[in-house]
Structure 1
């Protein structure tokens, strides 16, 4: 599944997969926004899958925002549910 980016009330919502196939265009798109806007908020709640390349893409955007003294928020509202679900898998 491709990555879709929608803007809603100033927040950019990601839908689909952030992976090797989508991370390059993701970086290009958000690098432009980081350099153009005062602040960028990315909501990753709707990402279905993320691989190592996707994580590296997020790290790249963080580095770009730090270099440019820009504000970048990466948010996920459901993180507690994910953590609780995954911590049960690894419990001894």
Structure 2
């Protein structure tokens, strides 16, 4: 499944899959937004699939934003397993 990123009221809605095929594009697009805006809020409720590369992509973005003192937020209802993975990224940073 493809990855779609659209902006609505300053929040970037992520739909589709964040996986080995889309992770590089996802990182590049999000980094460009962070550079332009100094902050990034992504809504991931409509992400249908996320694999280890997708989790790693979010980790890369989070650590990059934190190292540059920029705001990076993830919002949306997600399942417990994904929540645990994302929580581990924040804890490890």
With the shorter chain as reference, the TM-score category is 0.7 to 0.9
Structure 2: unaligned runs, 5 residues or longer = 81-93
Stretches of structure 1 lacking an aligned partner (at least 5 in a row)? 84-92
SS of the residue corresponding to residue 17 of structure 1 reads: strand
Say which one has the larger Rg: 1
1:25 maps to which residue? 25
Q: Where does residue 13 of structure 1 map in the other structure?
A: 13
TM-score, with normalisation over the residues of structure 2? 0.81
Separation of aligned partners in 2, 1:60 and 1:2: 20
Residue aligning to 2:36: 36
- Any idea what SS the aligned residue of 2:49 has? strand
Aligned partner of residue 16 in structure 2, secondary structure: strand
Q: Secondary structure at the match of 2:32?
A: helix
Q: Does 1:67 align with 2:63?
A: no
Q: TM-score, normalised by structure 1?
A: 0.82
Cα deviation, residue 38, structure 1: 2.9
How many residues end up aligned between the 2 structures?
80
- Counterpart contact for 1:35–1:68, Cα < 8 Å: no
**8 Å contact 1:18–1:47 — kept in the other structure?**
yes
Over 2 Å off, 4+ runs: none
Give the RMSD, CA atoms, in angstroms: 1.0
